[in-house]
Amino acid sequence: MSEQSLNRNLCVDFDNINASIRNNGFSRQSLQLIDNYTNDIINGKTNITRFNQAEHAGLCRAGEMLIGAYIVCNYARTSLEASADAATSQASPTNWEIDEKQEALVQQWAEAKGVWFANAEQDIESEYGAKIAQGAEAKVYYKDGDVSVIKIRTSIYATLERALESIILHNAIFPETSMNVIGFTRDADGMFRIILTQPYIGCKRLATKQEIDLLLSFKGFQDNNNGLGINYIGKRLYLEDMHPANVFIDFLSDSPICIDCIIKFVR
């Protein structure tokens, strides 16, 4: 059973979603089944056993669009794995193959759902404000006076599914800067991107290494002693890229707040 398998008493529902996508694509029926399952998660009627209670809360804070995309990613991966199992001489699918299929199917689902934005960068800048920052992982847009920023976030993870997981895990560990997914797009270079909102944090200054260490020690992480001083490990998760540019001292609370980092399960 795959690492993202659902709890046993809901396997029939998930099997129905898989069968509907396999037989009908992203028809009205398939979309409704995904929506129903998403609502059951948000309303606490079911969960995904991959996540503990705090992570499940992070999943819900990420919103309906992330949950729907995560369900589609699960289908994409399990369908590839099933094909490999059926052809015994075929090797297990690579992360590259999984990622390619997940991106393609999530795009199809998002288009059918009406949350695929072909010209996201131009539309966001005209409606939500100018680009104020750009890093390896995200382009950030903000209009003075707004309480949130808009991010167009690329995947630097092995698969799209793991990129979505990273948002869920961020929300679990850093709920004060929770990310809420509102759509999907591709940039001018054809790279798949996730569109999300996140609370705007007024940066008084960048956090020091000591302040980051203290923040993460309260959350159960310690420096993994790899010599970089920006990577941390806990019982379930790795945190990477925890450098001062990703951890601000907030103007209001005067406390360190993480706005972004790389988060992965310990596998």
Q: Do 23 and 100 belong to one domain?
A: yes
CB burial string 105-122: b at 16+ within 10 A, e below: bbbebbebbebbbeebbe
Q: Do 78 and 55 belong to one domain?
A: yes
What is the pLDDT at residue 112? 97
In a domain? residue 147: yes
89 or 223: which carries more pLDDT confidence?
Answer: 223
What is the pLDDT at residue 222? 93
d(CA 171, CA 191): 24
What is the pLDDT at residue 1? 37
Q: Which of 107-121, 199-213, 217-231, 247-261 has the lowest mean pLDDT?
A: 217-231
Domain boundary among 146, 171, 199: 199
Cite the DSSP H helix spans in 120-251. 120-128, 160-173, 209-218
- The mean of the pLDDT values for the chain is 89
Q: Do 29 and 125 belong to one domain?
A: no
What is the pLDDT at residue 62? 98
In a domain? residue 220: yes
Cite the DSSP H helix spans in 135-252. 160-173, 209-218
d(CA 214, CA 207): 11
Spatial strand order of the sheet with 203-206 comes to: 203-206, 247-250, 256-258
What is the pLDDT at residue 119? 85
Q: Do 185 and 223 belong to one domain?
A: no
- Its domain, for residue 132, covers 120-199
Instruction: List the CATH number of the domain containing 155.
Output: 3.30.200.20
**How many domains, the chain?**
3
Query: Whole-angstrom distance between the N-terminal and C-terminal Cα of the chain?
Result: 15
